[in-house]
Structure 1
Amino acid sequence: MTKGKGGRTRSKRSEQIAQVIFLITSLVSLAAVACICVFIFRGAWPAIREVGLWNFLSGTAWKPNNDPQKFGIFYMIVGSLYVSGGALILGVPVGLMAAIFMARFCPKRIYPLLSQCVKLLAGIPSIIYGFFGMMLIVPFIAEHCPGNGNSVLAASVVLALMILPTIITLSENALRSLPASYYEGALALGATHEEAVFHVLTPAARRGIVTSIVLGMGRAIGETIAVGMVAGNSNILPTSIFKSVRTLTVNIVSEMGYAEGLHYDALIATGAVLFVFIMLLNVALGLLTREKKDKSESTNKPGAADKRPQKALQGGVAK
């Protein structure tokens, strides 16, 4: 009996030690985020105070060598949104269709090959994507389209390739995690395999799909090296997809090496704007994840999952 009590005591002590270790690692992560926030916003404050927040966000001139200096990032914000939006327009349909194919249509003998290809895409360094875009995509655009090839379109194509693994992997996982009763119920109501996949399973997995898109946009808007190699780095308002563009990240990395004084502070302020945008994306992702969890709990109630295929197939899909 004494031995049993001793074993329980050691087990409880081990559990307490594990809890302390987990708490310490969590606090370290929290402290790291806090330090980054303090560094970014404290470093950005002198530029914001000197230039003004509105002038900084809406200004169109970035001339650190002028007297007086001018710092406006409006064109860079627009350029970042153009490039990221173009990447989503090109990458989301391809990624979603690839995820649907791999989850519900792919033959078992070729699935391992496709899965390894997706993992390989995720592991390729950014600079390799940049070289690919610079050597193939930019010359192709220059030959067949207006301009010299360094453009919004070139950057969007490269970023679309880079966000494909995120969209494919998360969307496929969302489709595979659905209860089997969704698919079986749709077939029982007379739907074909294709109708069940596109009219029942895909809408049911929309939260996971949206999550993959949000994460893909975060990857796209934060990318630097590949975009800098193909976008042209011109601080102008892009009036077409064939125009050169400068993004927030490229502006930081291209000038940080020699910046000093107010110029240096303005670059940190540019990073702060990007940081806030990424934070907003993470908040949106958290809200989507929470809503997905609540929805999942409601559909796990008895009879809830059985009604979903019937509702999705109403309107003439099932005959």
Structure 2
Amino acid sequence: MNRRDLKNIVNQSIITAVAMVGILALIGLFIFIIRESLPALTEVGAEIFTSKYWYPTYDPPEYGMLAMIVGSFILTGFASIIVIPIGYIIAFFLYDYATNREQRIIKSAIDLLSGIPTVIIGSFLFIYISPILMNFGAWSAGNLLLAAIGLSILSLPYAASLMQEALSSVDISLKESALALGASRFTAGFRIVSKAALSGILNSIILTINRIIGETIVVLMVSGGAAIIPRSIWDPVRPLTATIASEMGEVPIGSTHYSALFTAGLILLTISFILTMISRRITRSWKS
């Protein structure tokens, strides 16, 4: 065995070992969360998913998460409706219309925005934006709209960057061929290139949704914290992530309340896993 072969074997072994560590860590995380969730699932049962009353400190306690689950989905959907079209517009502008100078400025702004701590964004929204919303009819300082704005700000750099990468990955000859056949610049970019990059765009959308549903600090600060099913954009909401963050440090370890919070984490992890699998399925089916 020569030196080059030995080097290749060592490199392959290191890469395989690192990949296996990641896989084992994921499996271990699932096992840990499932194990910690089992006491609440067995003791409380289906009430966790069917009841909307979350009163874990009452006597008797109630551990219904329906309102928080529904609130998480509503908030995620609302924020996605805001951020995905804006992210695509920014990505399309950077791909097809922006000059080199404009690309540098916008990309620098996106990088700067993505680096701002989430607690700073939450503080800004609560101090400056919340009073404005209350003048328009909001009855709670924290509400669904304010939380959706915060999540949109946080996930916009992520969505725009992923969608631009998807558009840029399309062979430039496809766009040039459309222009040569008489298509307008907008038609070539929007209908031809975007269609060719559709799998990447859909993948970007799913990853953005995954990013939104897992955010914690901003929703903890500005969502209002009420475990109710919101009926308007002015109602407060309490997502699962905010519940875990606000209560985990105060519950006795091993209690049913403690286990119920891990059940909330298991729900979030399952949603994230499903979204990731959908993303991979879209990528594979499009390539095949």
TM-score range (shorter-chain normalised) is: over 0.9
1:34 to 2:21 alignment:
no
**Matched positions, count:** 286
Counterpart of 1:47 (choices 40, 43, 60) is: 40
Could you say which residue in structure 2 is the equivalent of 1:303? none
Q: Any gaps of 5 or more consecutive residues in structure 1?
A: 1-7, 295-319
**Residue type at the aligned position of 2:214:** G
Partner of 1:302: none
SS, match of residue 250 in structure 2: coil
8 Å contact from structure 1 (residues 174, 208) kept in 2: yes
- Residue 106 of structure 2: aligned partner: 114
The answer to whether the 8 A contact 1:149-1:242 is kept is: no
Q: In structure 2, what is the Cα distance between the partners aligned to 1:70 and 1:134? A: 30
Residue 81 of structure 1 corresponds to 73
**Partners in 2 of 1:100 and 1:59 — Cα distance?**
44
Residues 204-223 of structure 1 mapped to structure 2, 5 A cutoff: 204-223=196-215
Looking at structure 2, the residues matched to 241 and 98 of structure 1 have their Cα atoms a distance apart, in angstroms, of 26
Q: Is it true that 1:283 corresponds to 2:283 in the alignment?
A: no
Secondary structure of the equivalent of 1:110?
helix
Percentage of pairs with the same residue:
35
2:14 alignment partner AA = I
For residues 247-270 of structure 1, give each alpha carbon's deviation from its aligned partner in whole angstroms, at most 9, with x where no partner exists: 000011111111121110111111
The residue aligned with 2:134 is 142
Query: Structure 1 CA distance, aligned partners of 2:99 and 2:10?
Result: 48
- Check conservation: 2:142, 2:223, Cα contact below 8 A: yes
Q: Does 1:90 align with 2:82?
A: yes
Deviation string, structure 1 residues 117-145 (Cα, Å, up to 9, x no partner): 11112222211121121122211111122
Pair 1:232 & 2:259 matched: no
Paired AA for residue 68 in structure 1? P
- Provide the C-alpha distance between the structure 1 equivalents of 2:12 and 2:101, rounded to a whole number of angstroms: 44
Superposed CA RMSD in Å reads: 1.2
Residue 150 of structure 1 aligns with an amino acid whose one-letter code is G
- What pairs up with 1:177-188 in 2 under 5 angstroms? 177-188=169-180
Q: Higher Cα Rg: structure 1 or 2?
A: 1
Dislocated runs of 4+, deviation >2 Å:
291-294
Deviation at 1:272, TM superposition (A): 0.5
Aligned to 1:299: none
Asked if structure 1 preserves the Cα contact closer than 8 Å seen for 2:143 and 2:222, the reply is yes
Amino acid at match of 2:268: L
TM-score under structure 1 normalisation?
0.87
Residues 1-319 of structure 1 mapped to structure 2, 5 A cutoff: 9-52=2-45, 54-260=46-252, 261-294=255-288
List alignment gaps of at least 5 residues for structure 2: none
Distance 1:136 1:204 in 2: 42
Is contact 2:55-2:63 (8 Å) kept? yes
Q: Which moved more, 1:63-72 or 1:280-289?
A: 63-72
